[in-house]
Amino acid sequence: MLTDLGGIELLGRLGDKRRSVVMAEPAGHWHGAFATPLRQRWAHRYLRWIGAPRLATMGYDLDALLAELAHVPARRDGQLQDALRMLYGVIWSGFEPVLVRDKLRRLRDWRGIHAHP
């Protein structure tokens, strides 16, 4: 499975990075991604939402992750950008169901036009 990783097509909408090999990054490499207080609160809530049983299935301990997250030094720079991105995400998610509904309606209309020769 690991050798076939390069052949997997990632279709992420959010610009997922594609890697052809599994990276052996240090265990604490993720700390930098959660260095602002907003991101730390978000990660704390998300880990609690995932829950201990699911994390255990993946080989992680919820309490250990939360303790590690609590010890990540928080910095204030970048917090404004985080807040703006979160606001953008809330606004975008509010419009997304409307877009999906419109696309489905157009697909039904298109099928109706092309169903009768």
Q: Please tell me the distance from the alpha carbon of residue 45 to that of residue 98, in angstroms, as a whole number.
A: 27
Q: Is the pLDDT of residue 66 over 80?
A: yes
Q: Answer yes or no: is 46 within a domain.
A: no
Q: According to the model, what pLDDT value does residue 52 have?
A: 95
3-state helix, strand, coil in the chain (%, to 5): 65, 0, 35
Q: According to the model, what pLDDT value does residue 48 have?
A: 94
Instruction: Give the closest residue to 79 by CA, choosing from 48, 45, 44, 34.
Output: 34
Reported as a single tens digit per residue, the pLDDT across 74-117 is: 788 888 888 888 888 778 777 777 777 787 888 777 766 655 55
Q: Answer yes or no: is 61 within a domain.
A: no
Q: According to the model, what pLDDT value does residue 85 have?
A: 85
Domain enclosing residue 107, as ranges: 78-117
Q: Answer yes or no: is 117 within a domain.
A: yes
Q: Answer yes or no: is 64 within a domain.
A: no
Q: According to the model, what pLDDT value does residue 11 have?
A: 61
Q: Please tell me the distance from the alpha carbon of residue 34 to that of residue 25, in angstroms, as a whole number.
A: 16
32 DSSP assignment? G
Question: At 103, which amino acid appears?
Answer: K
Six token digits for residue 92: 């975008």
Q: How many domains does the structure of the chain reveal?
A: 1
Six token digits for residue 68: 């590690």
Mapped onto helix, strand or coil, the DSSP state of residue 115 is helix
Reported as a single tens digit per residue, the pLDDT across 8-64 is: 666 655 555 555 555 666 666 777 778 888 888 888 999 999 999 999 999 999 999
Q: Kindly tell me the burial class for residue 36, based on how many C-beta atoms sit within 10 Å of its own C-beta (0-12, 13-18, 19 or more).
A: buried
Q: Answer yes or no: is 20 within a domain.
A: no
pTM: 0.55
Q: Are 78 and 36 in contact (CB under 8 A)?
A: yes
Q: Answer yes or no: is 40 within a domain.
A: no
